Amino acid sequence: MHFIAVQRVVLKLALAASLYCIFSITAQAASVRGVVTDASGAKVTGATVGLISNGQIVGSAVSSADGSFQIMTGVSGRFFLVVSAKSFRQLETPGFYAGRLDSVEQSVVLEPEWVRESIVVTATGTPTPQPQTSAAISVLGPLDLSLREDLVSAMRLMPGTFVAQVGQRGAQSSLFVRGGDSDANKILVDGVSAGDVGGRFDFGPLSTTAVQSAEIYRGPNTSLYGADAASGVVSLATPHGTTSFPSLLFHGDWGNFSTSREELEASGAHNKIDYYGAFSWLQTANNLPHDEYHVATSAANLGWQPNGSTQVRGTIHYGVDATGVPGTWEFHHLSDQATEKDQDIYLSASIDNQTTADFHNTVRYGLTRKREQYHLWNQTGTGVFDGFGDSFGDLVTITGANGYSVTGRALMDFAGTYPQGYQLVSNRDQMVYQGDFRFTPHLIGLVGFQYEDERGAEPGSAYYKPVDRTNYDYRAAVHGDFKNRFFYTLGGDLEHYSLFGTQTSPRAGVSLYALRPRKGIFSGTRLLFNYGDAVREPSLTDQFNSLYNFLENNSGQSTVQQLRIKPLAAPTTRTYEAGFEQALFTQHLIFRASYFHNEYGKQIEYVGLDLIPALLPNLTTAQQQELTTVLEQNFAYELTLNTEAFRAQGVETTLESGIGRNVFLRGGYTYLDAVVQRSFANADVNLLGPVPTFNGIPLGTYSPLQGARPFRRPPHTGFFTATYAARQMSVVFSSAFASRSDDSDFLGGYDINGGNSLLLPNRNLDHGYAKIDLGGSYQFLPWLGIYGQAENLTNNQHIAPIGYLSLPTNVRIGLRLQWGKEKAR
């Protein structure tokens, strides 16, 4: 009996010691937990979750019936999760830091094995799976961008968008989304507004260096991002370092037109710090005289996680470029001896804190510094001058895509003292706060505040004055669902902008699974609807060239009163969208279609200098000519006012599918029906004189006429891509096409007699095109690979608007050298 009593005591002590040890280890262990769901929000049971540190599995779990998992580890450091489940693509999460006592939330969203459904941010302000949003969003990932040196061609590979590049590599490039103006898009680099003051953004010199992904939101979203997000949002993200050792990657390629590009990346992560840096240099001669282009891009991303719930991060992008500006070669058969240079800095500094399991806060400071200089070094011409000393090009025949043609000499350069030029400066300091709180697993609330101090000027010019705009933006939104079947987003903001005062911008979107994802031919049906209002700031150039200010300052008060011309105001947008998404053959194929209807009001229209005599009838001819000369010397060839209104409606479709694990296909088509509803040129013919005509066809010289289509918005656009990605080899085929579009050659008053004989009908003036690109890479050794990219295989030089020549077929072949086992993600 005594022996049994002693044995019981020993067993109790051993049990107590074991429990103590387990408790001690648990108390000092990091906890990584979360929930595994599919893109629709349904819980995934039986998913295998592995916790990886320094290339080793340090813990694992299997998701339970409610999709939840928890992994305990006594190791502190940097981790990432690898998650796999039947019928889903294996997922690897971004890296994160966890200390011994940290509890880290890492919920995981798996996507179907055969299609791609990304986690997006621009629709709701918080990371959300695409199927849980009603918004139209496309994501360009590393495979889409890895072989390209700029974003211009890549951004054509999505529905509802059109890119107009006025020339060859490096030339000014504008993005039109669903028929909206090119100034109506908000461009973000790591959450920082990157556009000029007023929203204008040139994609031409923007390199893909240090761009991990590009998320493109189609539709207005000023309720989350403030003015300028009136047609769309483009959000660019910088890679993070992930390897536990320094990793170096070098790219070097060479091609025709004396093209070369070199890029070096360095990245890694150690304990609480991750780092990434990149530098690239590209230069090319293009294939026109005076059209050389080079761009240097530097970028860095440094992150610090003091614990598992807080992250401090800073990123910076610095780009310097210079390009020749040959101008409209087809109108003169001569190139201007002109250059444009840019120096752009985008800086983001943020603190991200998961205050509680449900409460998340972000504070971000953003800095944007942009300089653009244009210089016309000499007056170019063929030796033919008019009475004012203006020079002219060759005698040429100009033919539009509509078949109409004219012959004559077009004005090349104005008389004056050379070199001439201008400089535009856009400075912005931005402070943003955003907090989101998860009230329930099915409801998230968001509040935010944004302050901007914008400064703009044209140094060295007596005509333009410095501009200082102080803007405030208060925003709130909710995003939630009912039983993972009905998803909704409601939000709005109150904006106070120095230039146009106070306005509000509501937005609403809903998405309903009429048929939940499942096995079968019809394996999921989703319906969606969106509504939104938006505004945008006029650009610096628009403000400087305001017709109202010009008339007020030059004795044109009678014209102001007669035409009821007002100070420049904010253009507005209102949109409605409805559509559906159909999954087929157990989500092997997904088809999306939507109808959108956009109303654009108070849009900015342009009045050319040849109309000044009519607008200032009280001035003598000499005084009018003096004013015209001043405007010409300051490159103010057009004056602006808010008199245009148009609507743009259309249908947007995409189809995507995977074949096996390595092949992915995606295509899309958009039909756009846009029409001008109000035009200054039509409304005031009694004062301005009759509208110019071509064989009886009315012509819009500077802006489209009422009833016509807005310029550079083709009614038919589409794309198709096919990618193959395996361990050692990748192949990317892409094609984009567009139908003919309306435009002007803008040669009103620019023939050798100061007349309109060189104007062509606007309808279908710009050529349609098909652009085909092919690229690929092969990894011979872990440290050595080759790659190549061929663009514009159809050798089409009419991708650009009329007058400009596009770059013919161009090919680059290069080497990739790598030290380290993986590239930064």
Q: How is residue 16 written in tokens?
A: 């107590």
Kindly report the CA angle at 91 between 86 and 93, in degrees rounded to 5?
150
One DSSP character per residue, 269-309 reads: EETTEEEEEEEEEEEE--SSTT--EEEEEEEEEEEEEEETT
Burial 622-638 (b: 16+ CB within 10 A, else e): eebeebbeebbbbbbbb
* DSSP assigned state of 112: B
* The pLDDT value given to residue 13: 36
* The pLDDT value given to residue 688: 66
* Residue 292 CB contacts under 8 Å (≥ 6 apart), including other chains: 283, 284, 285, 286, 323, 324
Burial 390-409 (b: 16+ CB within 10 A, else e): bbbbeebebebbbebebebb
* The pLDDT value given to residue 160: 95
Query: What is the C-alpha radius of gyration for the chain, rounded to an integer number of angstroms?
Result: 29
Among the listed residues 188, 191, 224, 183, the one whose alpha carbon sits nearest the alpha carbon of residue 206: 188
Q: What is the 3-state secondary structure (H, E, C) of 208-262?
A: CCCCCEEEEEECCCHHHHCCCCCCEEEEEECCCCCCCCCEEEEEEEEECCCEEEE
Strand partners for 756: none
User: The tokens 């063929």 sit on which residue?
Assistant: 382
* The pLDDT value given to residue 460: 61
Give the Cα separation of 525 and 176 in Å (integer).
30
* The pLDDT value given to residue 64: 87
pTM, full prediction: 0.90
The count of other CB atoms within 10 Å of the CB of residue 66 is 10
Locate all alpha helices (DSSP H) within 528-620, ordered by sequence. 540-544, 547-553, 557-563, 612-615
Give the Cα separation of 499 and 457 in Å (integer).
15
Give the Cα separation of 776 and 785 in Å (integer).
11
Strand partners for 392: 384, 411
* Residue 382 CB contacts under 8 Å (≥ 6 apart), including other chains: 334, 391, 392, 393, 394, 409, 412
**Torsion sign across C-alpha atoms 803, 809, 815, 816:** positive
Give the Cα separation of 333 and 803 in Å (integer).
10
Spans of the chain below 50 pLDDT: 1-27, 822-825
One DSSP character per residue, 336-371 reads: --EEEEEEEEEEEEEEEEE-SSSEEEEEEEEEEEEE
Q: How is residue 337 written in tokens?
A: 């001896």
List of E strands, 726-768: 729-738
* The pLDDT value given to residue 664: 92
Among the listed residues 743, 622, 722, the one whose alpha carbon sits nearest the alpha carbon of residue 164: 743
* The pLDDT value given to residue 17: 40
Q: What is the 3-state secondary structure (H, E, C) of 671-733?
A: EEEEEEEECHHHHCHHHHCCCCEECCEECCCCCCCCCCCCCCCCCEEEEEEEEEECCCEEEEE
Give the Cα separation of 514 and 449 in Å (integer).
36
The answer to whether the beta carbons of residues 403 and 420 sit under 8 Å apart is no
Give the Cα separation of 612 and 628 in Å (integer).
8
The count of other CB atoms within 10 Å of the CB of residue 42 is 15
User: The tokens 């890296």 sit on which residue?
Assistant: 95
